[in-house]
C-alpha cells in the first residue's frame, strides 16, 4: 500500500492521465473490432496502455500495473501479427480496461485500488498469450462492470440451490456500476419509494392475511422491481436479498404457501434490511458498504421452504437488534459464559475476562463508528482522536490481561493513527490501511476471546462455519449491534427460550450497553444526513415547459427595456409615450415574476403523504412492543407542502406519535374500565388553513390533566408552587413543551425522557411554524402544528413602531382597526378593549419591544389584531402601512445566540433597507407571560 | 512548499489596523472580508446594547457591533471617518463599527508580546497580544473571544 503516502499532487495527476488513457483506449478498441486489420488503431491502443503501465509502476500500484502489463503484452502480440483480432480477444481486453477503470475510480474516491479482482482477467490474458482459446469464465459480479453483466446477474442471481456459493459476505465497501450520475439518484429514489410501498402493503396484508391475491401480486412486483434495479447497479447483497423475498412471495402467489404472521414478520424484517442496504449506498461516490444479509437470506429461504422461522417475541423497532436477537435465539449459543476450564488453564480471573470481553466489544464498536464517520468526513478531528483513544484502550486492557500479541498490534495501530494526526497528512489516505489494520486487530482479539471460551465474539475467524456467524465488519453500518455477544458472558444474558408473552421485553431489545446503543443512533443520523444531501425533486415535464416559456417572456421583456432606454437616449419618442411603454413593460414584468414565483413554488411542493407513509409501520411496531391495540388513521395525505418543510417534519412527527401511543393512550384494561373501545385510535391529518398547512396528531386517550401538569412541574423544579398555581389550564398544558419536562411516571425506551416536545417545538419554530396543544381529560389530546406553505416568501403587513418599520406576517393578522384611546379599560393590570362584543387584550408594541417608554397621548390608536391559534391580541402601532410580499432572510447565527424574542427574521425592501419581521407567536407570549413589561402600560 | 509558506506566515503578521478613541487596534487581514462606509442601520429590539442593529450587505442581513460600546467606551456619533469592518469568522459574518481604518501592516511576529492584564482600560481577555511598533503600540484583538458564545452569555447577563 505504498501509494498511501505518495504526494497527493502526483497522485491526482496520475488519475487524470489514466482516465484520459482509458478514454482513448475504449473507443479505439471498439473501432478495431470492426476493422481488425487496422494496424494504426492497434498502435493507438498500445501507446496509452504502455503509459498506464509505466505510470502505475512508478507509483507502486501493483494491481493496475500487472493488469496493464498483461494487456500490453497481448496488444504487442496483436501488433506483431502473432495473434488475430477476434471478438474473444476484444472481450478480454475490454474486460481488462473495465477493471482498470474501476480501480482508478476507486483510487480517486477512496485512495486505494479497491477490491476489484484482477486475477481472473489476468489469467484470461495469459491464456491468450499462451495461444489458448480464451475460456469465458463467469465474471466476478462485483468487479467487472460489464454492461451485459447486469441482466445476467439479475436473471441468475443466487437462486436457492446456488445459495451456498453466494459470494462470502465482505464488509469492504465496493463500487456500484453506475451509468451516469443521475442513475444512482434515480435508483435510490425508486428504492425508497418501493420500500415505502412494501411496508404499506405488508401491513395491509397483515390486516387481511388471507385471500388478497392482488396485494400479494403487488408485493411480489415490488420485490421483483427492486431485484432488477439492484442487479443493474451490481449491488449483490441487495439483489440476493430481494431475490429470496421474491421467491418466497412467488410461492405464496402460486398458493403453495399461506401468508402467515411469522412470514410477514420475516418479510418486514427483510424490508428493514433492504432499507438499510439502500441507506448504505454512498450517493456521492456510488460506493456501498453492505450490511450482512446472509442471515436474513437464510431466514427467507427457510420460510420459503415452509418452515416456520422462530421469531423473536415481538418485532423490534430497529432492524439491527431484531436481527441480532434472532441470531442469538436460533443459534444454540455456544458457551455463553466463559468456559471455566479454559480460564483455569490460562490462569485468569473470570470476572477480568468478562470485563475484558465487554471492553473489547465496546471499543471495536467505537472504532467501527469512527472509521465509518471518517470515511465520510476524513478530517473530523474528534473521530480521529476517538479512534486513537479506543486503540489505546485496547492496548492497555490487553496489556493488563497479559496478551502480548494483541497489545503489540494495538499499540502499533494506535501509533499509526497518532502519526497520521500529528503529521497532518490527509486522513482519507490512511483510512484504507487503518481499516485493514483494525480488522486484523479484531481478528486477533476475536481469536483470543475464542481461546478463553468466549467463542461467540463475532470477530472470531474460526466462528462456526454457519452462514449466520457473520464475521463482524469494522465498517458495517449495523456494527453497534455487536456488543450483545460481547456482553453475553454475563450468565443472565443466556438466550432464554422466547417467552410467548407479547409485552415481555426481549433480552436483546434493551440497549444494555449504553455506549453501544448510542453509536447506533449516531450512525443512523449520519446516514440520514447523507441521504438528505442528495435530495432531489421530481418535476412534471409540463411545469418545466411552462418555466421555459416564462423565461422566454422574461428575455423579451428585458429587450423591451433596453429598447425603451435607447429611444429615450436618442430622443426619438415623446417622453409621454416612453413613460406609457415603460409602465406597460413593468406590468408585464410583474406578471412574469409572479408567474415564475408561483410555478417554482409549485415545483417545490410535495404531498405530506411521503412523510405520513412511514407511520403505519411505526405504529404497528410500537403497538406490538407496548401491547396496546392502536389504529392509525391518516387523513389529507395529498396536502402539499414545501419540500424543505416536508423533509424536516418527519422526526417531530415521530416524537409526537410515540408520545400519543406511549403516554396518551391507556392500556387495554384501562380503556375497558373507562368504557372506551379497547382499540385506541390515533389520527394524523393534514389540511390547509389560510396560508398555512395544519398537521394534527390526535388520540382518544387519557388526555392531559392540567392539575397533574402543575404538580409535576413543581416536582421537577421547572416552576415554583406560586408560578404553577398562576397558570391557567391552557398554559399548564403547554408545560409539555418546557425543556426537561416529562409527566410520564416511568421512562420507557420509547419516550418520556423529557426532551422530545421541547425539541419538537424548536424544530417547528425553525420552520416559522407553531405548535399548539389542546386536550380534554379522559377524551384525548390533540397537537396541532401550523406550518407555512413555503419558507422563503410570505405576505406581510408593514407597520411603523417607534419610528421603525416592522413586518407582521399576514397569516397572523386577523384585522386592523382604529380605536379611541378612551375606550381602553384596565382589566387585571392589562389594557383591554371591547371589540364587537369580545374582550381583546391590547399592548403597546413599542413598549413590548422595549423601543420607547413614552406615554402614548394620541386620541386615536391604530391597532393590529393578531391571532396565535385561537387567542387574539391587539397591538398598538404608530402607523399602518401597506401589505407586501416579502422575502425572509435569517438574522444570522451571531444574533441567533442571543435571546432576541419577538423577531423571527428580516427582509430587504425595494430601497435596500432592512425591515425586521415580527414573530406573532412570541409577541403573544411576551405580552401574556408574567412579570414582563408591557402589561402594566 | 506549503511548509515554507506556513513558516513565513508565522514570522510575519499581516494586519488591518484601525482606531477607536486614542488606541490603535489590529486584526488578522485574513479574517477581514471587506471594509465599508457606514450605512443605514436597522435597530434590533431587545438586542444587547452593543449590537447597533442589522444592515443589508448585498442581500445578506448582517449584525453590526459597535466596538466602542462593546469595550465600554463612551459612544461617539458616526462621522465621515467611521467605517464598518466586515469580519467572517466561524461561518459568522459580523460588522464592527470603528472610528477609522488606518492601514495594512506587516509586523514580525516576534514583536508581539502577551497582553498585560489591562490595556487602555479594556480587559485583556479580548486581546491576543500587543504589537510593539517603532513609535507606538498596536493592540491585537482576539476575534474568536470577542464573538464566542460564553462571552455573549456573560454579556447578556450584565
Has residue A808 got a pLDDT over 90?
A: yes
What band does B153 get if pLDDT is binned at 50, 70 and 90?
A: low
| Mean pLDDT, rounded, for A564-578 | 83
Q: What is the pLDDT of residue A932?
A: 41
How many contacts (CB atoms, under 8 Å) link A and B?
76
Has residue A365 got a pLDDT over 60?
A: yes
The partner residues of B20 in beta bridges, in order of sequence, read B23
Lowest mean pLDDT among A481-485, A634-638, A797-801, B112-116: A481-485
The whole-angstrom separation of Cα A277 and Cα A298 is 17
Which residues in chain A have their CB less than 8 angstroms from residue B2's CB?
none
Contact A114, A170 (CB under 8 A): no
Q: Closest Cα of chain B to A801: distance in Å?
A: 11
Which A-chain residues 797-826 have CB contacts (< 8 A) with chain B?
804
Q: What is the pLDDT of residue A309?
A: 56
Q: Closest Cα of chain A to B81: distance in Å?
A: 22
What band does A791 get if pLDDT is binned at 50, 70 and 90?
A: low
Cell digits for A684? 394524523
| Mean pLDDT, rounded, for A745-773 | 66
Interface probe, candidates A8, A798, A875, A892, chain B, greatest B C-beta count within 10 A? A892
Highest mean pLDDT among A112-121, A445-454, A479-488, A707-716: A707-716
| Mean pLDDT, rounded, for A812-839 | 82
Lowest mean pLDDT among A134-138, A500-504, A790-794, A808-812: A500-504
Has residue A573 got a pLDDT over 70?
A: yes
Percent of chain A past pLDDT 90, that is, above it, reads 3
Tens digit of each residue's pLDDT (9 = 90 or more) over B2-54? 555 555 556 788 899 999 888 889 998 988 999 998 888 998 888 888 889 99
Number of CB atoms found within 10 A of residue A181's CB: 11
Interface probe, candidates B45, B59, B66, B94, chain A, greatest A C-beta count within 10 A? B45
The whole-angstrom separation of Cα A329 and Cα A496 is 8
* pLDDT greater at residue B124 or residue A502: B124
The whole-chain average pLDDT of chain A stands at 72
Q: Do B44 and A916 touch (CB under 8 A)?
A: yes
Which residues in chain B have their CB less than 8 angstroms from residue A899's CB?
46, 156
* pLDDT greater at residue A588 or residue A412: A588
Has residue A780 got a pLDDT over 90?
A: no
Which residues in chain A have their CB less than 8 angstroms from residue B47's CB?
895, 898, 900
The whole-chain average pLDDT of chain B stands at 80
Q: Do A850 and B46 touch (CB under 8 A)?
A: yes
Percent of chain B past pLDDT 90, that is, above it, reads 18
Give A932-937's long-range contacts (Cβ < 8 A, gap of 24+). Answer: A932/A848, A933/A847, A933/A848, A933/A850, A934/A843, A934/A844, A934/A847, A934/A848, A935/A829, A935/A830, A935/A843, A936/A829, A937/A831, A937/A843, A937/A844, A937/A847
Q: Out of A849, A899, A916, whose CB is closest to B156?
A: A899
Has residue A915 got a pLDDT over 90?
A: yes
Lowest mean pLDDT among A34-43, A390-399, A876-885, B114-123: B114-123
Q: What is the pLDDT of residue A916?
A: 92
Which residue is closest to B155 within chain A, CA to CA? A898
Q: What is the pLDDT of residue B121?
A: 57
| Mean pLDDT, rounded, for A536-555 | 86
Lowest mean pLDDT among A461-475, A898-912, B67-81: A461-475
Q: Do B94 and A894 touch (CB under 8 A)?
A: yes
The secondary structure of A398-417, three-state, reads HHHHCCHHHHHHHHHHHHHH
Is the Cβ of A382 closer than 8 Å to some Cβ of chain B? no
Q: What is the pLDDT of residue A181?
A: 59
Q: What is the pLDDT of residue A453?
A: 63
Tens digit of each residue's pLDDT (9 = 90 or more) over A687-736? 887 667 889 999 888 888 888 888 887 887 777 888 778 877 877 887 77
Q: Do B51 and A891 touch (CB under 8 A)?
A: no
The whole-angstrom separation of Cα A49 and Cα A30 is 15
A808 — phi, psi (to 5°)? Answer: -115, 125
Beta strand A680-689 with A640-642: parallel, antiparallel or unpaired?
Answer: unpaired
Q: Do A891 and B54 touch (CB under 8 A)?
A: yes
Lowest mean pLDDT among A109-113, A496-500, B112-116: A496-500
Has residue A399 got a pLDDT over 60?
A: yes
* pLDDT greater at residue A880 or residue A721: A880
The alpha-helical segments, DSSP class H, found in A534-614 are 541-570, 575-604, 609-612
Contact A308, A262 (CB under 8 A): yes
* pLDDT greater at residue A906 or residue A741: A906
Q: Do B56 and A894 touch (CB under 8 A)?
A: no
Has residue A753 got a pLDDT over 50?
A: no
Q: What is the pLDDT of residue B54?
A: 92
The whole-angstrom separation of Cα B28 and Cα B16 is 6
Which residues in chain B have their CB less than 8 angstroms from residue A913's CB?
40, 42, 56
Q: What is the pLDDT of residue A665?
A: 85
* pLDDT greater at residue A279 or residue A285: A279
* pLDDT greater at residue B157 or residue A385: A385
Tens digit of each residue's pLDDT (9 = 90 or more) over A32-83? 777 777 777 788 888 888 888 887 877 777 788 888 888 888 888 887 777 7
Residue A114: name the closest of A64, A161, A149, A74 by CA: A64
Q: Out of B40, B44, B55, whose CB is closest to A903?
A: B44
Q: What is the pLDDT of residue A161?
A: 39
Q: Closest Cα of chain A to B135: distance in Å?
A: 37
Highest mean pLDDT among A18-27, A464-473, A481-490, A640-649: A640-649
Which residue is closest to B91 within chain A, CA to CA? A893
Has residue A674 got a pLDDT over 80?
A: yes
Which residues in chain B have their CB less than 8 angstroms from residue A916's CB?
42, 44-45, 54
For A55, half-sphere exposure in the C-beta direction (CA atoms, 13 angstrom radius) is 19
Q: Report how far apart, in Å, the C-alpha atoms of B150 and of each of A25, A203, A739, B50, B154 are.
A: 61, 51, 21, 16, 6
The alpha-helical segments, DSSP class H, found in A827-876 are 845-848
What band does A316 get if pLDDT is binned at 50, 70 and 90?
A: very low
Is the Cβ of A934 closer than 8 Å to some Cβ of chain B? no
Largest interatomic CA distance in chain B: 51
| Mean pLDDT, rounded, for A457-464 | 38
Q: What is the pLDDT of residue B124?
A: 64
Q: Closest Cα of chain B to A808: distance in Å?
A: 15
Q: Do A894 and B147 touch (CB under 8 A)?
A: yes
Helix (H) or strand (E) holding A423: helix A404-423
* pLDDT greater at residue A106 or residue A319: A106
Q: Which residues contact A279 (CB under 8 A, 6 or more apart)?
A: A477, A527, A531
Which residues in chain B have their CB less than 8 angstroms from residue A890's CB?
61
What band does A513 get if pLDDT is binned at 50, 70 and 90?
A: very low
Has residue A766 got a pLDDT over 80?
A: no
| Mean pLDDT, rounded, for A791-798 | 81
Q: Do B44 and A891 touch (CB under 8 A)?
A: yes
Amino acid at each position: 500500500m505504498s501509494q498511501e503516502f505518495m504526494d497527493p499532487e502526483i497522485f491526482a495527476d496520475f488519475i487524470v492521465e489514466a482516465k484520459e488513457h482509458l478514454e482513448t483506449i475504449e473507443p479505439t478498441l471498439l473501432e478495431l473490432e470492426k476493422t481488425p486489420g487496422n494496424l494504426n488503431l492497434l498502435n493507438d491502443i498500445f501507446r496509452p496502455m504502455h503509459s498506464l503501465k509505466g505510470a502505475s509502476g512508478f507509483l507502486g500500484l501493483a494491481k493496475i500495473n500487472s493488469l496493464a502489463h498483461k494487456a500490453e503484452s497481448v496488444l504487442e502480440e496483436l501488433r506483431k501479427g502473432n495473434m488475430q483480432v477476434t471478438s474473444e480477444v476484444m472481450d478480454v481486453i475490454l474486460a481488462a480496461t473495465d477493471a482498470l477503470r474501476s480501480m482508478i475510480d476507486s483510487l480517486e474516491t477512496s485512495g486505494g485500488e479497491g477490491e476489484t479482482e484482477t486475477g481472473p482477467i489476468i489469467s484470461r490474458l495469459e491464456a491468450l498469450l499462451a495461444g489458448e482459446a480464451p475460456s469465458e469464465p463467469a465474471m466476478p459480479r462485483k468487479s467487472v462492470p460489464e454492461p451485459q453483466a447486469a441482466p445476467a446477474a439479475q436473471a441468475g442471481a443466487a437462486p436457492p440451490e446456488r445459495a451456498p456459493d453466494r459470494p462470502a459476505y465482505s464488509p469492504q465497501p465496493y463500487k456500484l456500476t453506475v451509468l451516469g450520475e443521475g442513475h444512482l439518484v434515480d435508483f435510490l429514489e425508486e428504492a425508497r419509494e418501493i420500500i415505502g410501498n412494501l411496508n404499506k402493503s405488508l401491513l395491509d396484508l397483515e390486516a387481511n392475511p388471507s385471500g388478497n391475491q392482488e396485494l400479494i401480486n403487488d408485493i411480489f412486483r415490488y420485490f421483483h422491481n427492486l431485484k432488477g434495479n439492484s442487479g443493474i447497479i451490481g449491488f449483490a447483497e441487495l439483489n440476493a436479498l430481494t431475490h429470496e423475498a421474491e421467491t418466497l412471495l412467488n410461492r405464496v402467489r402460486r398458493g403453495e404457501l399461506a401468508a402467515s404472521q411469522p412470514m410477514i414478520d420475516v418479510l418486514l424484517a427483510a424490508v428493514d434490511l433492504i432499507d438499510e442496504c439502500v441507506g448504505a449506498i454512498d450517493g456521492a461516490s456510488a460506493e456501498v458498504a453492505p450490511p450482512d444479509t446472509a442471515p436474513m437470506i437464510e431466514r427467507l429461504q427457510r420460510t420459503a421452504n415452509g418452515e416456520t422461522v422462530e421469531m423473536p417475541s415481538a418485532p423490534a423497532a430497529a432492524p439491527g437488534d431484531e436481527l441480532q436477537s434472532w441470531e442469538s435465539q436460533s443459534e444454540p449459543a455456544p458457551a455463553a459464559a466463559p468456559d471455566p476450564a479454559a480460564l483455569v488453564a490460562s490462569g485468569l480471573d473470570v470476572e477480568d475476562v468478562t470485563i475484558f470481553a465487554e471492553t473489547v466489544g465496546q471499543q471495536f464498536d467505537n472504532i467501527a463508528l469512527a472509521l465509518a464517520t471518517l470515511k465520510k468526513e476524513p478530517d473530523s478531528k474528534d473521530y480521529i482522536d476517538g479512534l486513537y483513544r479506543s486503540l489505546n484502550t485496547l492496548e492497555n486492557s490487553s496489556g493488563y490481561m497479559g496478551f502480548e500479541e494483541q497489545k503489540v498490534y494495538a499499540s502499533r495501530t494506535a501509533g499509526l493513527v497518532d502519526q497520521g494526526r500529528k503529521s497532518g497528512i490527509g486522513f482519507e489516505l490512511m483510512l484504507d490501511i487503518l481499516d485493514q489494520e483494525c480488522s486484523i486487530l479484531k481478528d486477533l482479539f476475536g481469536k483470543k476471546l475464542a481461546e478463553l471460551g468466549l467463542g461467540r465474539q463475532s470477530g472470531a475467524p474460526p466462528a462456526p462455519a454457519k452462514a449466520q456467524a457473520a464475521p463482524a465488519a469494522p465498517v458495517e453500518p449495523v456494527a453497534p449491534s455487536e456488543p450483545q455477544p460481547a456482553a453475553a458472558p454475563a450468565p443472565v444474558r443466556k438466550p432464554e427460550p422466547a417467552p410467548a408473552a407479547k409485552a415481555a421485553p426481549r433480552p436483546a431489545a434493551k440497549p444494555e450497553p449504553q455506549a453501544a446503543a448510542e453509536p447506533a443512533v449516531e450512525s443512523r443520523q449520519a446516514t440520514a444526513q447523507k441521504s438528505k444531501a442528495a435530495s432531489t425533486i421530481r418535476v412534471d415535464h409540463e411545469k418545466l415547459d411552462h418555466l421555459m416559456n416564462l423565461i422566454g417572456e422574461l428575455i423579451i421583456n428585458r429587450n423591451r427595456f433596453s429598447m425603451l432606454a435607447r429611444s429615450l437616449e436618442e430622443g426619438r419618442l415623446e417622453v409621454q409615450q416612453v413613460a406609457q411603454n415603460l409602465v406597460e413593460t413593468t406590468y408585464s414584468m410583474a406578471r412574469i415574476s409572479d408567474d415564475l414565483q408561483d410555478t417554482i413554488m409549485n415545483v417545490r411542493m410535495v404531498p405530506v403523504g411521503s412523510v405520513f407513509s412511514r407511520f403505519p409501520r411505526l405504529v404497528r411496531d410500537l403497538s406490538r412492543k407496548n401491547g396496546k391495540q392502536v389504529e392509525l388513521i391518516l387523513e389529507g395525505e395529498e396536502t402539499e407542502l414545501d419540500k424543505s418543510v416536508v423533509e424536516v417534519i418527519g422526526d417531530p412527527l415521530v416524537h409526537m406519535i410515540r408520545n400519543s401511543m406511549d403516554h396518551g393512550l391507556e392500556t387495554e384494561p384501562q380503556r375497558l374500565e373507562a368504557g372506551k373501545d379497547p382499540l385506541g385510535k390515533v389520527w394524523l391529518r393534514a389540511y390547509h388553513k389560510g396560508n398555512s398547512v395544519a398537521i394534527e396528531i390526535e388520540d382518544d386517550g387519557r388526555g392531559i390533566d392540567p392539575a397533574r401538569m402543575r404538580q409535576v412541574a413543581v416536582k421537577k423544579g421547572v416552576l415554583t408552587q406560586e408560578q404553577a398555581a398562576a397558570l391557567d389550564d391552557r398554559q399548564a398544558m403547554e408545560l409539555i413543551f418546557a425543556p426537561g419536562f416529562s409527566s410520564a411516571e416511568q421512562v420507557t425506551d420509547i419516550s418520556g425522557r423529557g426532551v422530545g416536545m421541547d425539541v419538537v417545538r424548536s424544530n417547528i419554530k425553525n420552520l416559522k411554524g407553531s405548535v399548539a396543544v389542546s386536550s380534554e381529560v379522559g377524551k384525548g389530546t390533540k397537537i396541532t402544528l401550523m406550518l407555512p406553505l413555503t419558507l422563503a416568501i410570505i405576505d406581510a403587513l408593514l407597520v411603523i413602531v417607534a419610528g421603525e418599520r416592522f413586518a407582521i406576517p399576514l397569516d397572523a393578522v386577523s384585522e386592523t382597526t382604529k380605536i379611541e384611546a378612551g375606550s381602553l379599560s384596565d382589566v387585571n393590570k392589562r389594557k383591554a378593549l371591547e371589540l364587537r362584543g369580545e374582550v381583546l387584550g391590547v399592548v403597546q408594541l413599542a413598549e413590548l419591544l422595549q423601543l420607547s417608554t413614552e406615554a402614548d397621548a394620541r386620541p386615536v390608536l391604530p391597532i393590529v389584531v393578531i391571532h396565535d391559534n385561537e387567542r387574539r391580541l391587539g397591538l398598538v402601532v404608530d402607523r399602518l402601512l401597506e401589505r407586501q410580499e416579502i422575502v425572509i432572510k435569517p438574522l444570522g447565527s451571531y444574533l441567533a445566540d442571543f435571546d432576541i424574542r419577538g423577531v423571527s427574521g428580516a427582509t430587504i425592501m425595494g430601497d435596500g433597507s432592512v425591515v425586521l419581521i415580527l414573530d406573532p407567536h412570541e409577541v403573544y407570549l411576551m405580552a401574556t407571560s408574567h412579570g414582563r413589561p408591557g402589561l402594566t402600560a | 512548499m506549503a511548509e515554507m509558506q506556513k513558516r513565513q506566515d508565522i514570522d510575519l503578521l499581516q494586519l488591518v489596523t484601525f482606531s477607536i478613541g486614542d488606541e490603535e487596534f489590529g486584526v488578522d487581514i485574513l479574517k477581514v472580508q471587506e471594509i465599508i462606509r457606514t450605512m443605514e442601520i436597522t435597530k434590533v429590539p431587545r438586542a444587547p446594547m452593543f449590537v447597533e442593529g442589522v444592515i443589508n450587505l448585498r442581500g445578506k442581513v448582517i449584525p453590526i457591533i459597535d466596538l466602542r460600546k462593546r469595550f465600554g467606551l463612551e459612544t461617539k456619533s458616526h462621522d465621515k471617518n467611521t467605517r464598518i469592518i466586515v469580519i467572517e469568522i466561524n461561518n459568522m459574518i459580523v460588522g464592527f463599527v470603528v472610528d477609522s481604518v488606518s492601514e495594512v501592516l506587516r509586523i514580525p511576529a516576534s514583536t508581539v508580546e502577551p497582553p498585560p492584564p489591562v490595556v487602555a482600560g479594556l480587559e485583556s481577555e479580548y486581546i491576543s497580544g500587543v504589537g510593539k511598533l517603532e513609535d507606538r503600540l498596536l493592540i491585537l484583538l482576539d476575534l474568536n473571544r470577542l464573538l464566542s458564545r460564553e462571552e455573549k452569555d456573560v454579556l447578556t447577563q450584565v
